[in-house]
Amino acid sequence: MPVMIMEHTELIDMEKIREYFKGDQFVMGIGGVLLEVSPGYAKAKLDIEPRHLNGAGVVQGGAIFTLADFAFAAASNSHGRSALGINCSINYVKGISKGTLYAEATEDSLSPRIGSYTVRVTDQTGAVIAIFQGLAYRKNDPLQV
């Protein structure tokens, strides 16, 4: 699905957005995968492996936060301008030890400089695992894809 660039007529397709985020070695290193992206929206997944578990046997909060932050980054950059998180918070509401996590980011508000996003992290059954709120600062720089 193509992604419209804000204030430009050019379109960025999903493959170009995937290429842009291949530079995010951290999230790729833990196994995060970008599934979908469109203007103001993104969905990512993480298949849970033993390396994601903490001492209590549940997915480590940092892994959940990283997945949510990845979806937030894709959604906030989907307008074709470089966007960086300036404030993020997360509430963990349920533990999980196996299966797949999905992070679905939606844009709550957008202005030329600031975008607000909510990311719901769910398991494969749709049960909510965490809720992430992110505020992004949008620069004038177009994405280099």
pLDDT for 12 equals 56
Fold of the domain built from segment(s) 3-142: Thiol Ester Dehydrase; Chain A (3.10.129)
pLDDT for 59 equals 98
Query: Within a 13 Å sphere around the CA of 141, how many CA atoms are in the beta-carbon half?
Result: 8
For the chain, domain boundaries: 3-142
Residues 87-100 as b/e (b if ≥16 CB within 10 A, e otherwise) read ebebebeeebeeee
From its phi and psi, is residue 119 left (phi > 0), alpha (psi between -120 and 50) or beta?
A: beta
DSSP character at residue 3 = E
pLDDT for 7 equals 42
Give the SS3 label for residue 74.
helix
Per-residue pLDDT tens digits for 99-133: 999 999 999 999 999 999 999 999 999 999 999 99
Q: What are phi and psi of 96, to 5 degrees?
A: -150, 145
pLDDT for 76 equals 94
pTM score of the predicted model? 0.88
Ranges in the chain, pLDDT < 50: 1-11
